[in-house]
Chain A
């Protein structure tokens, strides 16, 4: 199973530096804000994880974003590595989205809908390149890069419901379509021009529930639960294949978080998305707002394959200005 691009397991055993991220965010002028996030995953090469402009002054509750950025598709896909409570990304990421998730050069238009509750509609277009690891299969990135026929398009509806002061629910409906890479699992691929596969469709939903009392004098306890599930179909009648995960994180003390994640791929299964299970647990200690120490363990298995257990002791730290905590 191909790992995500920021997965630490490429080092097999011993020490590694999973990712270095250098970030800069600033107002550009009265009309734009800008951000640049440079990363070095596993000490191998400098990547531009995101570099974009976003408008602040358009009428009709519109917002435009341009550059290279993470798609709004799903919840985990929008997150930088350090925002997770787990060391690895969900298994579905590399199988359905690509090794670095669904991100790349593109443009996004979004509108805050005039409803009594928070609802935002996003439409995006990306020029995605074929995956670096050609042994894998990507939903997107096949064929020529710049023609409209080969762009990857997404549509996302994100809605937020404040069930009570301490109970919040965020629901996302997601759809994406693009050219798949015509490179079946295990078959070597060479020239990008030859890899233009059939149009693929990826659709599914994400749900995020959070319970957190506003008054911490009562308790520092909190609970958050995330579930995402997506299915990919191919235009030429190929098999539909799906994958997803469900995870829960409990804040057990002011500085301690206990997390569990269950991954399921291959529902339905197919030649490119085999049935696999993953069970992961994490214990995160946050000494301050700027550092975290995490123990992470994961058991992976599935029909006909030998079970694998992985474990990590992870240290995260940040320098500079206090970062924001998006919901």
Chain B
């Protein structure tokens, strides 16, 4: 065998080894955040084994790229991530270090959940001006996983990819998806009914991470405590925001529970609004164990703030 053929054989062996999985073994899935991990469980049921790289009480932009996470990725059959550059600061080096061809870019096991949703807030400005707007996400707003229509889109992507990776489980994945959507349809009506008082109210949020929720529940975002994404608030901006809030009858200041709430409370108090520290991921508190728990908690927190 010539050297070139041997090298090719080595790569193919790697690819084959990478995809080797006994028919009875569970599909090993690693998700970048806990909400995606739970949606994987909803679709995959007993056929998959899921772990999350981050916890729901962490800021998903700034997860520590600990080498221990490489071990989970090394054994994974699929990596499910939010995409739109949310994890750009920590996930790419871990994936490269994983030495796992199954989850590299372009591989079937590399699952970008954002492909299942309609992406909002894609900046329409020249690339060389992007950073003047702060640490924005050039591919669009990645904080999309809470509204039911997006969860539905993510679940469909998961069912399709899991079926490709584990063809024997196609029926089970489709059944998991159908059961999830059936339950989601019912819950969606409940949530929208409960959240009816939120329609049309003006809100301020800490980071631009509630836009999809605001659109779903028909709230109007009129400002952000961060002057620009990723840029901590300044005194001048805070004063202007409070002035705007007073003029605009802002009802709620919404902040993710992983951000310090002292400044948000100051803004809310002085802007004559109520502060809502809301969870944004499964696992944000011990009681939030599933996607349904998460949306229940978000809707409850927002309505109770009125």
- Residue numbers of A with Cβ under 8 A of B are 27, 30-31, 33, 54, 56-63, 112, 117-118, 120, 158, 160, 162, 168, 170, 210, 212, 214-217, 220, 254-255, 287-290, 319, 321-327
Contacts and interface: CB of A to CB of B under 8 A. Distances in A.
A118 B67 contact: yes
A123 to B, nearest CB: 15
Interface string B63-82: 01111101100100000000
B65 to A, nearest CB: 5
B126 interface: no
Interface string B224-238: 000000111000000
B4 interface: no
Contact of A325 (B10, B14, B89): B89
Given A27-B106, A61-B99, A322-B85, A290 B131 contact: yes
Contacts of A31: 11
B58 A289 contact: no
A168 B135 CA distance: 28
A288 B134 contact: yes
Given A30-B104, A289-B135, A290-B131, A59 B13 contact: yes
- List the 3 closest pairs (A to B, CB-CB), nearest first: A160-B67, A57-B101, A118-B67
A114 B165 CA distance: 24
B259 interface: yes
A327 B91 CA distance: 11
Interface in B144-160: none
B258 A27 contact: no
A220 to B, nearest CB: 8
A212 B62 CA distance: 11
Nearest to B255: A217
A321 B232 CA distance: 20
B84 to A, nearest CB: 12
Contacts of A170: 67
A322 B89 contact: yes
A158 B105 CA distance: 26
Contacts of A120: 67
Contact of A255 (B14, B64, B97, B232): B232
Contacts of B96: 33, 54, 56
A324 B65 contact: yes
5 contacts: A56-B96, A57-B101, A59-B17, A112-B74, A214-B58
B163 interface: no
A197 B272 CA distance: 77
Contact of B261 (A60, A117, A217, A220): A217
B104 A56 contact: yes
Given A217-B260, A326-B93, A59 B10 contact: yes
A319 B128 CA distance: 9
Contacts of B260: 216-217, 220
B65 A325 contact: yes
Nearest to A119: B67
A288 B92 CA distance: 21
A290 B228 CA distance: 14
Nearest to A254: B232
A112 B70 contact: yes
Contacts of A60: 17
B18 A59 contact: yes
Given A58-B99, A214-B55, A327 B18 contact: no
B257 interface: yes
A31 B10 CA distance: 11
A27 B259 CA distance: 35
Contact of A57 (B14, B92, B231): B14
Contacts of B10: 58-59
B107 interface: yes
B92 A324 contact: yes
A71 to B, nearest CB: 17
A263 B211 CA distance: 50
Interface string B81-114: 0000100111111001101010011110000000
B59 interface: yes
Nearest to A287: B231
A215 B258 contact: yes
Contacts of B134: 288
A61 B73 CA distance: 12
Contact of B135 (A112, A210, A215, A288): A288
A30 B11 CA distance: 10
Given A214-B58, A216-B258, A62 B66 contact: no
Contact of B68 (A54, A162, A220): A162
Contacts of B191: none
B64 A160 contact: no
Contacts of B11: 31, 57-58
B180 interface: no
Given A322-B89, A324-B93, A326-B93, 6 more contacts: A30-B104, A58-B10, A162-B66, A216-B259, A290-B131, A319-B131
Contact of B231 (A214, A288, A326): A288
Contacts of B232: 254-255
B123 to A, nearest CB: 14
Contact of B99 (A112, A160, A168, A325): A112
B135 A321 contact: no
B114 to A, nearest CB: 16
A62 B99 contact: yes
A324 B106 CA distance: 20
Given A56-B104, A162-B66, A214-B55, A324 B90 contact: yes
Nearest to A318: B131
Nearest to A117: B68
Of B55, B260, B261, which is in contact with the most chain A CB atoms at under 10 Å from its CB? B260
